[in-house]
Structure 1
């Protein structure tokens, strides 16, 4: 299966060793990491020695079509961040295919996150045999929750886990969002969606 994926405005591809600078800038940005892991920027050495090698290893070890994919803007080629599909392993999740995304602040508020999320969901359901897609974030991460909702996922629950270190807002817990193949197929077959497709195609 072709690991490359294109949306209207982005190209998604596998990471390579040459992407270390872009990935380090993303994971090292304090605003990006505010609601992730321990809430602190990740050192370049960690990205270079652990994060990127893990991404590359996952292409071999995970089922085909899964992993973390670098997102670049069409035309300019500017690095925007990444999107991922993996068997769900994040704390609090129990099964399903996990959707993830992490974008530079320069890409926030421009619809890129929703665009990429929808593209990976479509691939997961149509090509990869996914039955249920899940995603999680902190309850207070309103921006990420909006992306999940715009992509078509629905709130399943708020849950509370013990974390090694406190992050501001952790007392409000985390959220799980999800969508099943059946629900996703149903949204694509509504009259409104069909009309939108016909209009987009000029029919």
Structure 2
């Protein structure tokens, strides 16, 4: 019998990161269309795009749940247009301010280089006006490496390099 912990790709004291399942799509659709969550992402995704995403490839997508199974957010490890490994994330507003985003994203960062052994760095892009996201990326140890205008707003790219191993110790 599979349990939540059997399917975990990563876990923390409070959270579990697991692959996206078909029954998670309703929560993902909310994340794609919620105006509060999409404030810094260009607004709600149109219905036709939601329909495409519903049947799209969710490889690299991770649901972030409390140990009870209740979904608090989503992280994705995939490729950015530069070829770098990218962390994307969204957390439900009712869980904001409790440290779940930091904890869940830290667990995803911990998985990143194991799941993508050819990646030399991990990037994340956020709108500069999204101060909570900027603070989150800095709390994860990511460093600002670029700024640019896109989607009518100033964007900021953060990055962290693959940890180096010397004599079996990560540095």
If the TM-score is normalised by the length of the shorter chain, which range does it land in? 0.7 to 0.9
Which residue number in structure 2 is paired with residue 70 of structure 1?
Answer: 63
**TM-score, normalised relative to structure 1:** 0.70
What residue number does 1:64 align with?
A: none
Rg comparison, structure with higher value: 1
Q: Which runs of 5+ in 2 are unaligned?
A: 1-6
Q: Please identify which structure carries the higher helix content.
A: 1
Residue 20 to residue 123, structure 1, CA distance change in 2 (3 Å) = closer
Q: Deviations over 1:43-99 (max 9, x none)?
A: 56643x222322xx243xxxxxxx111111112x2111200100113xxxx231001
The separation in 2 between residues aligned to 1:114 and 1:184, in whole angstroms, is 25
Which one of 74, 79, 87 corresponds to residue 82 of structure 1? 74
Q: CA RMSD in A?
A: 2.5
Question: What TM-score do you get using the length of structure 2 for normalisation?
Answer: 0.82
- 1:184 Cα deviation (Å)? 10
Match of 1:26 among 28, 31, 48: 31
Q: Report which of the two has the higher share of strand.
A: 2
1:112 and 1:184 map into 2 onto residues whose CA distance is 29
Structure 1 residues 178, 58: CA separation in 2 closer, same or farther (over 3 Å shift)? same
Aligned-pair CA distance for 1:159? 1.2
Given the alignment, which residue of 146, 159, 167 partners 1:178? Answer: 159
Segments of 5+ residues of structure 1 without an aligned counterpart are 60-66, 191-203
Structure 1 moving runs of 4+ over 6 Å:
none
2:87 aligns with 99
Contact 2:163 2:170 survives alignment (8 Å):
no
Number of residue-to-residue matches in the alignment: 162
Question: 1:101 is paired with a residue of what secondary structure?
Answer: strand
